[in-house]
Structures are given as structure tokens and as C-alpha cells.
Amino acid sequence: MAATEESAAALLQDVMASMKVRPDDDEDEEEVTKEWGSVEVDAEETDAAVKKVQEKEAGGVKEEVDDGDGGGTVDLPEMALKSEKLNEEVESPDTEIKKVLATDTPYTSAKSFEDLNLTEPLLKGLYTEMKFERPSRIQAETLPMILSPPYANLIAQAHNGSGKTTCFVLGMLGRVDANLNAPQALCVCPTRELAIQNEEVLLKMAKYTGITCACTAGADDRVSASRRGKITDQVVIGTPGTLKRWMSKDRILDARRMKILVFDEADHMLATEGFQDDSMRIMSMIARQSPNYQILLFSATFSERVKAFARNSVPRANEVFVPKEDLSLDVIKQYRVRCPSSQGRLDVLRNNIFPLAEKLGQSIIFVRTRENASFLHTSLQQDGHRCTSIQGGMSHEERDRVIREYRSGETKILISTDVLARGFDQAQVTLVVNYDIPVKMGTWEPDYELYLHRIGRSGRFGRKGAAFNLVCDRKGEEMLNKIEDHFDRRMDEVKYDDEDAFERVLKEAGLA
């Protein structure tokens, strides 16, 4: 066993060397084995647990295969070699994507949507409704994996705003049978807003297909399950708590025909306490009735700890990863704003940032607590500034209204907790303000993933963007230093008492 592991490790080294993978992947490897055992799934009842145990039993073999033994793994060194040519053809940023295949199945990246054997109505939706011409880089790589046999599981990571949603939405639409009135695809999202957003994209793309969708956050989300009746829509999208209840207690969501399960913001869904149990339960309930279903995990971020956990929760998955160094979004200019005090921070927001933001496209101000969101909102409004705020304590109707106004452009500045940190896609967002630096719970460690997600709300699909990070004490200062180190990017400072500094800097970022 030890020998096997060692030779597998050696092999992995070779493969990585040939792929010019960054050296820090090594330390990741260590962290992986150390960390993942600490994440627990309540073992007694779930089939997922059973499935997992089986995976572990097959562990000797599996590790070997997954980690680079010739048997199953086809690392694609030719990807690296051909990348310049590919880039020309697929018109993508020069990102070096790392693919690890779990089976012998060869995949050719899709140069056009025609390569994917999609139905005519679906293609029509892509071209006329979505106005897509050809697959983006991440779409070109993942869609063949999703849509062709053996319909392998997939763990995929790609930039914010690079078209991940299309990958899994098209994946679901491509796999379901429009003529069968039973749920066949399920998409789990961390927030109500994201579920709605994904549903909207799906319905738009599905316009000519006859495929319908049920969403836990629909207008009728107060309707009791018994009144609603069995779900016959081909696709179901929602938040984990309600989805779980629909499948178990309410019994209106039948998993017998389920072909594909998607986790959007998958690192969050699998690793965050509160989400994890529900996610595992959903997986096990589907596995019981449709053992051969396909699982897709999508996120812009997978910390090494979570990546290891994901690999164990979703066995034999193909992997498509973007190296960490390429993820820090060079298109988004990031700045440090040192504020004299906590009160001074509000002044900086009010006097320096708001007047500019009102002239810009749209902005999101992120804060750490619900209270802070409401407080900032009222206090800025009292000063005559137009803005809205959103946080999980508000009613569904209120949240929907705020989002609707923001989407329509009626409001330009939105103050938000981390409800909107992930996935929220609004092309006009050019400026993100971190009023608080995101922190990992119970520590004074910055939450790097969350930071990346937050600033990724701007600069959607290659557009320009800027982020102001407000710090007003040593803790904030230290955390921002750590963020700089982690992404290996220095941030310029914007002096709060320099009248024109903010405007100058936004010009520099290509915004003003």
C-alpha cells in the first residue's frame, strides 16, 4: 500500500513536471491528506455514506487511478503544448487549464456548439435567445465531458464571469428528455437569488425546447407542497433545505428518473456547515433511486481542503481546474483604502466613494453583518444618497423587489451582506467595495475564497472592474496583507484625504 502510494506520488510528480504545474501544488497535496479526514458525514443513515465507504474500500485502487497512474488517468500534457493554438481558435484568455480525466474516455474540446449533438430547439435558444456564438474556454472543455457517455462526474473550477452557468445549465438541458414529464435534472444553489438567476438563464435557453423548470424560490414558494402536487418539470432548481424537504417529507420530488445533479458554488455547498448535511442527504436520496446519476460540481473556488473533500464525495470525477495564480482576476483593479477610524470609514464611503459611484455603472458595497447593511443603508439615505440594501433577514418579497430594482438599473448602489457574494451576475457592476474584509468564522484569517467571489461581482465576462478595500484598524490591515500574499498581488493605496485620488484611480482602472 505504501509502495503503491509512493509510486503514484512519483508518477504524479512526473506528470506535473511535464505539465509545468506550479510548485505550490506540492504542499497542497500534503494539506489534502491531512485535512479531509476531519470533515465528517453522519454515517449511520445515508446512502452517500455507504457510497463513500465503498469508495474508501476501493481506496487503494482508486487513489492510484485518480492520482495519476497510467490505468485511468489521462492528464493532458498536450493541452499545455497546444495551448497557444487553442487560444487562437477559442478566443480565450491565456489561462492554462488543468484537466484530469477519471476514465479512458477521450474528449475533444468543443469548437462550436454544433459539436455537442444538441437538439435543434436547444441550439436555436443558444443562438437567438442567449446570443452565443461559440463556447467559451471552460464551456469548450467541460461540455463534452458532461454531455457524452459515460456521463462522468465532473469537478470544475473557472473564473468568475467566464460562463460557468452556461456549462451546467446547458449540461442539464442537453441531458434531459423533453418528452418525459418527470424531474431529470436538479440544481442546488446556496441562495434564493442564485436559484432564481439560474432558473431565468435556463428558461431563456430552453425557450424552444418545451423543457420546463420548478424552482424552490418561485413566486409560489408559499404554496404548500400538497397543493403543488408532484413535480413533472424536467428540471428542478433550488436551495438545499426546501429541495431536501420536497424529496423526503413532502414527497413531491421524485428522483427515479434523475440523470444529473448540479451543485452551483459547490465548494460552499459541500463544505459549509449547514449546507453540507443537506447536500449529502440530497445526493444519497438520489443515489438510492438513480444509482447512475451524474454529479457536477462548479465553483470559481475550491480551497485545497474542500477540493479533497469534493473528490471523496464525488467519486471518479473528471476535473477541470484553473491554477490559483490565474484566478486573482487581473482585470479587476484592487485598492487599499486606509481609513482613520471606524467612523472615518463611513465618511470615506459617504464623501469619497458614493459621489463617484453615483456617476459610475453599478456598485455593490459588501458588509459583514445584516445590522451593518441596514445601518449603512439608513445612514446614507439620510444624507440624501440613493441606494438600497439586501440581507437574509429581509422578507422574500422585499429581497425580490430590491433585486428587481437593481437589475432594472433603477438603483445603482446596493449594500449587501454575503448573500450576493457568490454568483450574482449583473453585467453593469463595475465597482465593488469591501466595507469589511471577509473573515473565516471564528478566526482572524481572511476568507480568500469569499474575497475572490466578492470582487468577482464586477468585471463580468472580461469587462473592467475595480475593488476598494476599506481598512480602519490593524486587524483589517493585517488581513489585507494576507490577501495580497495569498494571491501574490500588491494593491495600490488610495489616500482617503486626497480629494482626487479615487477618481484618478478609477480612470486608471478604465472605469471613470
Partner DNA sequence: AAAAAAT
Q: Which residues bind DNA (CB under 7 A)?
A: 190-193, 195, 216-217, 238-242, 245, 272-275, 278, 368-371, 391-393, 417-419, 438-442, 447
Which CB, 315 or 393, lies closer to DNA?
393
Contact assessment for residue 161 and residue 393, using Cβ atoms and an 8 Å cutoff: no
- Residue number, 70 or 392, with CB nearest to DNA: 392
How far apart CA 279 and CA 241 sit, in angstroms, is 9
- Tell me the closest approach of the beta carbon of residue 161 to DNA, in angstroms: 21
Nearer to DNA, 112 or 369 (CB): 369
Residues, the chain: 512
Closest CB 447 distance from DNA, rounded Å: 6
Q: Which is nearer to DNA, 168 or 451 (CB)?
A: 451
CB of 154 closer than 8 Å to CB of 320: yes
CB of 129 to DNA, least distance (A): 27
Q: Which is nearer to DNA, 153 or 388 (CB)?
A: 388
- Residue 477 identity: E
Q: What are phi and psi of 483, to 5 degrees?
A: -65, -40
Instruction: Record the cell numbers describing residue 501, joined without a space.
Output: 485620488
Cβ proximity to DNA: between 93 and 218 the closer is 218
Contact between 130 and 111 under an 8 Å Cβ cutoff? The reply is no
Q: What span, in angstroms and rounded, lies between the C-alpha atoms of 283 and 49?
A: 10
Q: Are 390 and 426 in contact (CB under 8 A)?
A: no
**Spatial separation of the C-alpha atoms in residues 507 and 96, rounded to whole Å:** 30
Q: Whose Cβ is closer to DNA: residue 190's or residue 456's?
A: 190
Residue among 140 and 419 whose Cβ is closer to DNA:
419
Distances (CA, A) of 262 to 39, 123, 187: 21, 21, 5
Give the integer Cα–Cα distance in Å for 438 and 346: 17
Q: Which is nearer to DNA, 246 or 321 (CB)?
A: 246
Distance CA 492, CA 478 (A): 15
Rounded Cα gap, residues 189 and 269, in angstroms: 8
Shortest spacing between CB 42 and DNA, in angstroms:
15
- Report in angstroms the alpha-carbon separations of 285 from 102, 248, 276, 289: 24, 8, 14, 7
DSSP class of residue 439?
B
User: What is the DSSP code (8-state) at residue 364?
Assistant: E
Pairing of strands 98-100, 317-321: antiparallel
Which residues are CB-contacts of 353 (< 8 A; sequence separation ≥ 6)?
433, 468, 502
**DSSP state letter for 103:** S
Cβ nearer to DNA, comparing 16 with 433: 433
Which CB sits closer to DNA, 155 or 243?
A: 243
- The radius of gyration computed from the CA coordinates of the chain, to the nearest angstrom, equals 23
Shortest distance (Å) from residue 225 CB to DNA: 9
Minimum gap (Å) between residue 414 Cβ and DNA: 13
Report the distance separating Cα 5 and Cα 106, nearest Å.
26
Residue 373: CB minimum distance to DNA, A:
7
Closest CB 297 distance from DNA, rounded Å: 18
> Cβ of residue 5: shortest distance to DNA, in angstroms?
34
| Least distance (Å) between residue 450 CB and DNA | 8
CB of 288 to DNA, least distance (A): 21
SS3 track for 42-96: CCCCCHHHHHHHHHHHCHHHHHHHHCCCCCCCCCCHHHHHHHHHHHHHHCCCCCC
